[in-house]
């Protein structure tokens, strides 16, 4: 859709320990699509091999969608591989953001490469602030968002876990958790 | 999709003062669609006349979607009209939930009719717990969710507003806020 003067690109962060961070970003993608905005989703941790409900819908709706991760790796011996993946992912994110092809870019679980030190937080935040096209909305999700990112953001919501079904022994539910 | 034994319908509440409550519910709708689950969205406050990005997409995707409200009314003289609308909306919600036609029902901004006393909280919660089909996921959004609802819920996330662009004088952005 045409960019007009009232359109100001927001830097939005959904963080916290509660559920609903990625899910809220997906809702923004749906809303943006309804207005003819062009969304792009880059997932930093989730594996391409996962059969996520949202990835199935993205394919059906023709949404640009890239899964850049291999799932969470808790093996310290493989941290270097994760760091390399994150750096490749960040290079791809920079290219997509700067391309002018999108109005809304979601960097899903992007807080983890920042929090784990796989990327330089100050460099990343400076790039996002200075180089992002002015109309582009950028959404970053994940726990433990670094303070420098929060300081640069326009809108920050912390999702606080009040109650979780795992506590009651209920397994992850298809269509809800994945 | 076929209901299997591991599918347990969750009662999910997104509450709090922060952004992302309705948006997260929309994300669940997208995710559920990806898995062939059948979603239904009932909006209790938002007006049918609004041109919400999500409503446009719902139409395009063939999602059952009903806007039951007339927007927020702050005129005390019209509270009775709001209460009647809420009661009609709740009757429709009960019918849709009990119909067996849906796997995921969203009652958007349903906390307000409860918090404002337009509906009896104890009756509503008892009905939801006892009469909801066992496989059906129910999602309720809105600020000020009553304690009885939280007690009955399986999953509760509080969206906490950490930072909001209105504070910096930025207007609501198309594709993000609506």
What are the domain boundaries of chain A?
Answer: 12-168
Fold classification of A12-168 is Rossmann fold (3.40.50)
Q: What is the pTM of this model?
A: 0.89
Contacts B140 to A, Cβ<8 Å: none
Residue B176 has what pLDDT?
Answer: 80
The pair phi, psi for residue A107, each rounded to 5°, is -105, 90
A175/B28 CB distance under 8 A: yes
CB B1 within 8 A of CB B35: yes
Note the pLDDT of residue A75. Answer: 64
Judged against a pLDDT cut of 90, whether residue A51 lies above it is answered with no
Q: Which residues of B touch A148 (CB under 8 A)?
A: none
Question: Domain spanning B11-140+148-168 has what CATH number?
Answer: 3.40.50.300
Q: Which of A53, A137, A164 sits opposite B176 (nearest CB)?
A: A137
Cβ-based contacts of B153 with chain A (< 8 Å): 163
Asked whether the beta carbons of residue A8 and residue B171 sit closer than 8 angstroms, the reply is: yes
Strands of the sheet containing A39-47, edge to edge, are: A64-69, A39-47, A104-108, A137-141, A11-15, A155-163, B155-163, B11-15, B137-141, B104-108, B39-47, B64-69
**Tens digit of each residue's pLDDT (9 = 90 or more) over B100-123:** 999 999 999 999 999 999 999 999
Structure-model confidence comparison of residues A51 and B84, the more confident one: B84
């Amino acid at each position: 859709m045409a960019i007009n003067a009232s359109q100001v690109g927001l830097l939005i962060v959904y963080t916290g320990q509660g559920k609903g961070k990625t899910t809220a970003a997906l809702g923004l993608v749906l809303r943006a699509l309804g207005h003819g905005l062009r969304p792009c989703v880059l997932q930093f941790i989730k594996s391409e091999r996962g059969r996520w409900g949202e990835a199935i819908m993205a394919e059906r709706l023709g949404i640009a969608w890239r899964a850049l991760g291999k799932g969470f790796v808790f093996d310290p011996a493989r941290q270097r591989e994760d760091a390399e993946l994150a750096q490749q992912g960040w290079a791809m994110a920079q290219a997509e953001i700067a391309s002018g092809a999108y109005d809304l870019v979601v960097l899903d679980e992007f807080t983890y490469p920042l929090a784990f030190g796989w990327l330089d937080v100050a460099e990343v935040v400076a790039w996002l602030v200075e180089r992002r096209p002015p109309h582009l909305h950028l959404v970053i999700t994940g726990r433990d968002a670094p303070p420098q990112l929060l300081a640069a953001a326009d809108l920050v919501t912390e999702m606080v876990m009040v109650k979780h079904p795992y506590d009651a022994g209920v397994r992850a539910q298809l269509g809800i958790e994945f």
